[in-house]
Amino acid sequence: MSEIRLEKIDEYRWMIPPVGGMRVPGIIYSSEELIREMGTDESPKQVANVAHLPGIVKYSLAMPDMHWGYGFPIGGVAAFDMEEGVISPGGVGYDINCGCRLVTTRLSLDDIRDCLQYLVVALFRDIPTGVGSKGVLKLSVKEEKNVLEKGAKWAVDQGYGAPDDLETTEDRGRMEGADPEKVSTKALERGREQLGTLGSGNHFLEIEVVEEIFDEAVAVAFGLEKDQIAILIHSGSRGLGYQVCDDYLAKMVKHVGDLGFPLPDKQLSCAYLRSNQGRDYLSAMACAANYAWANRQMLMHWTGETFERVLHKSPREIGMRLLYDVCHNIAKIETFTVDENPPSPPLEKGGKGGFFGKGGLGGFSDERQVKLCVHRKGATRAFPPGHPSLPGRYLKVGQPILIPGDMGTGSYVLVGTEKAFKDTFGSTCHGAGRVMSRNQATRASSGRSIAKEMAKRGIIVMATGKGTLREEIPEAYKNLDQVVQVVHEAGISKKVARLRSLGCIKG
């Protein structure tokens, strides 16, 4: 690990005290074991670097799945004041609105056991996967811009799903403020033929079975029960989102000298939120986010059609229903409350106190509200019961949180908490988090048949190329159970259910 000094606050939190140009402390959510396993990973240094940025509120955060990223660590969370703060493409990431949606069914494992192989093969045939994969749609420039403005609603309006799907999609599948005129011609070209494609790398479509229920009451509200079949879709904004990030990073790097403050790392190139450049990036980022929501909406629709062809039952007959869709790589303007207590130290060992200009950051209420720009890079929103952004069916229990693991593990469903809203700007982890680079994983898996290894574990895996499976070997990731246990015990999200992988397709 780097030379960064970590002070243990409690069993699941570690502080990086402010030194040098750090404006606030860093807080890492992790366990002793996960901290020990970090090795030479420099992500704590990136947590400290983020704390140098102007307008940052309270602290620079990292979740237990954190690892080295571009500028911000993957797993990083930071909130910025709208007047004095900045927006950083490195705090969002290249795959804007990479995210997950979980689709439940009324099927049980016994219902599909004999046809599981056929389902996986059919999904691999029907869902475009891989680097540069192209979908069945060939959008005009005008229609593509409609997608960027309307998001998942565009897909539903075209017959890809139902209006009810929007109710259980974060932000109803549409981010406000999208302006296609702020998206480059090159980005539009990259996205024009990729809508409705899965992509490559860690993106996947997986058939899973609910293996364990931890909170019966919340599981009932979510429509989850033991032995139930579900489908998890993990994809993002494809080449369009990548290009938006690349375009705006290039612009911001050129103006680093005009910011009026030193950057500890040029990868943190940014613009003030109130500046024209900052507003332009937010508008372009919203376009990419909307593209990703439309993309996942279409992938879900085509998954339903594939199930119908194999099972000879319609999606309605098998009870296919979107539980929720959450995004991971995003910057959002969200409302929090400021209490009227006097400033406290950066963070007390007992976990009390905080830093927020003239007061501490409070929980959700209708009073003393302030808007912040919250960056979540490889982190998931985790809003509590009663938050007005939640769909009615989840208002009493809290927001569903989807945490995918590696292809040999499965996934978790968690629920948001009031503690997350108070302590982490309503944020939690987003997955297992890599411990090996893709090159390291490829070397470690040399000479192995990963598909056969997965088959021995009872998981059918199909991928466009052998290279993808070698890059995505299970040991390239942290232990998902350990990561989830940290956020559960820390109280920033709570375990609801664990799902086991049955079949997985990848690019």
Q: 430 an active-site residue?
A: yes
Tell me whether residue 383 is in a domain.
Answer: yes
pLDDT in tens, the chain (507 residues): 457 889 999 999 999 999 999 999 999 999 999 999 887 889 999 999 999 999 999 999 999 999 999 999 999 999 999 999 999 999 999 999 999 999 999 999 999 999 999 999 999 999 988 666 667 788 999 999 999 999 999 999 999 999 999 999 999 999 999 999 999 999 999 999 999 999 887 899 999 999 999 999 999 999 999 999 999 999 999 999 999 999 999 999 998 888 889 999 999 999 999 999 999 999 999 999 999 999 999 999 999 999 999 999 999 999 999 999 999 999 999 999 855 443 444 454 444 333 333 334 444 444 568 999 999 999 999 999 999 999 999 999 999 999 999 888 899 999 999 999 999 999 999 999 888 888 998 998 888 998 899 899 999 999 987 788 888 888 888 899 999 999 999 999 999 999 999 999 987
Question: Measuring CA to CA, which residue among 482, 472, 390 is closest to residue 429?
Answer: 482
Tell me whether residue 58 is in a domain.
Answer: yes
Cβ neighbours of residue 363 closer than 8 Å, sequence gap 6 or more: 337, 384, 418, 421, 422
At CA 507, angle to CA 245 and CA 440, rounded to 5? 80
Tell me whether residue 438 is in a domain.
Answer: no
At CA 429, angle to CA 208 and CA 464, rounded to 5? 45
Choosing from 67, 301, 328, 430, which is the catalytic residue? 430
Domains held by the chain: number: 1
Q: Helix, strand, or coil here: 228? A: strand
Cβ neighbours of residue 229 closer than 8 Å, sequence gap 6 or more: 105, 107, 108, 109, 111, 112, 207, 208, 209, 502
Q: What is the pLDDT of residue 464?
A: 83
Tell me whether residue 40 is in a domain.
Answer: yes
Residue with tokens 């899973």: 208
Contact 297, 173 (CB under 8 A): yes
Tell me whether residue 418 is in a domain.
Answer: no
Tell me whether residue 505 is in a domain.
Answer: no
Range of the domain at 344: 7-95+330-399
Tell me whether residue 28 is in a domain.
Answer: yes
Residues 135-153 have pLDDT tens digits of 778 899 999 999 999 999 9
Cβ neighbours of residue 200 closer than 8 Å, sequence gap 6 or more: 129, 130, 131, 133, 464, 468, 506, 507
Residues 58-78 have pLDDT tens digits of 999 999 999 999 999 999 999
- Phi/psi at 14 (nearest 5 deg)? -130, 140
Cβ neighbours of residue 430 closer than 8 Å, sequence gap 6 or more: 63, 65, 75, 328, 376, 378, 379, 380, 403
Q: What is the pLDDT of residue 348?
A: 46
Q: Rounded CA gap, 63 and 495, in Å?
A: 16
Q: What is the pLDDT of residue 360?
A: 42
DSSP per residue, 315-339: TTTTT-EEEEEEESSEEEEEEEEB-
Reported pTM: 0.93
Tell me whether residue 30 is in a domain.
Answer: yes
Residues 380-438 have pLDDT tens digits of 999 999 999 999 999 999 999 999 998 888 999 999 999 999 999 999 999 998 888 88
Contact 169, 152 (CB under 8 A): yes
Contact 192, 144 (CB under 8 A): yes
